[in-house]
Structure formats: structure tokens, C-alpha cells
Structure 1
Amino acid sequence: MKTMTCKQLGGACELSFSAATFEEMIALSKQHGMEMFQKGDAPHLEAMQAIKKLMDSPEAMERYFNEKRALFESLPSE
């Protein structure tokens, strides 16, 4: 298991997620993002806008995910 914060994943807070794989980590992050979206949390909405802007460029989005995956892989296992 590895732990990352919402902020490390491109979000807006220090909530921690623990997962065995990067894909599981992204799923937890997305679930949290949806909860924050439903609450109308302004900092998270801003972070989502930044990621949405990346989606306009497949290359930028791929770079973003590759950076987050590399960060996940570099973390120690718990």
C-alpha cells in the first residue's frame, strides 16, 4: 500500500488515500473529487478546472498522469 494526498494527486486538500495500485489511487481520488464537487467546495472546483483544461490536450493529460504515476511509484510501500 502507498499513501498520497489529494494535493499530490492534483487536488486541493491534505486528505490521504491509501491504495495498492496507481489505478486504485486514481479511483479513490475521483470519488473524493465527486464528493467535493457535490458539496461545491471552491478549492476543489478550481483544481478540477485546471485538470479539465489539461484534457484539452491529450499530450498534456498524458504527461500529467505519467508524472502522478511516477510519484506514486517513487513512494515507499507501507
Structure 2
Amino acid sequence: MKTMTCRQLGGPCDLEHRGETADDVINAQDRHLKEAVKAGDAAHQEARDAMRGRWRHPKQSLGWYRDMKKAFADFPEA
């Protein structure tokens, strides 16, 4: 199990996301951003918009995805 924060994934806060894979933490970040914006947290809006853009254009966002998978792989097990 590894941990990455919202900030490490491009967001504005230090909420920790834990997962067995990079996809686990990326999906947790997506849920977190959606919930934060829905609750009225404007600080997360920019990151939410960027995440939504990545889901809509996965080929264009492959670089970000690869970077996050590499960062996840480089983190120690927690």
C-alpha cells in the first residue's frame, strides 16, 4: 500500500490517498476533487477541471498519467 497526497496529484491540499496501484490513488483523487467541488470548495475547482479534461482526452494526457505512475512507483510502501 502506498500513499500520495492531493497536492502530489496536482490538487491544492494534503489529503492522503492510499492504494495498491497508481490507478487506485488516481481514482481516489478524482472522487476527492468531485466531492470537494460539490461541497463548494473553490480551491479544488482548477484541479477538478484539469482531471475532467484528462478523462475526456486520455491520449493527450498520457504524459501526466505516466508521470503519476512513475511517482507512485518511486514512493515507499506505507
TM-score, normalising length: structure 2: 0.82
Seen in structure 2, the aligned counterparts of structure 1 residues 73 and 50 have a Cα distance that, compared at 3 Å, is same
Q: Kindly report which structure 2 residues correspond to 1:1-78, keeping only aligned pairs within 5 A, or say none.
A: 1-52=1-52, 58-78=58-78
> What do residues 10-37 of structure 1 show as CA deviations (whole Å, max 9, x unaligned)?
1110001111111111121111111112
Question: Counterpart amino acid of 1:2?
Answer: K
Is there any run of 5+ residues in structure 1 with no aligned partner, and where?
A: none
Deviation at 1:54, TM superposition (A): 5.6
Q: In angstroms, what is the RMSD of aligned CA positions?
A: 1.9
Is there any run of 5+ residues in structure 2 with no aligned partner, and where?
A: none
Aligned-partner Cα distance in 2 for 1:23–1:55: 13
Across the two proteins, how many residue pairs are aligned to each other? 78
Deviation at 1:52, TM superposition (A): 4.5
Q: Is the 8 A contact 2:30 2:51 kept in 1?
A: no
TM-score, normalising length: structure 1: 0.82
Q: What secondary structure is seen at the aligned counterpart in 2 of 1:36? A: helix
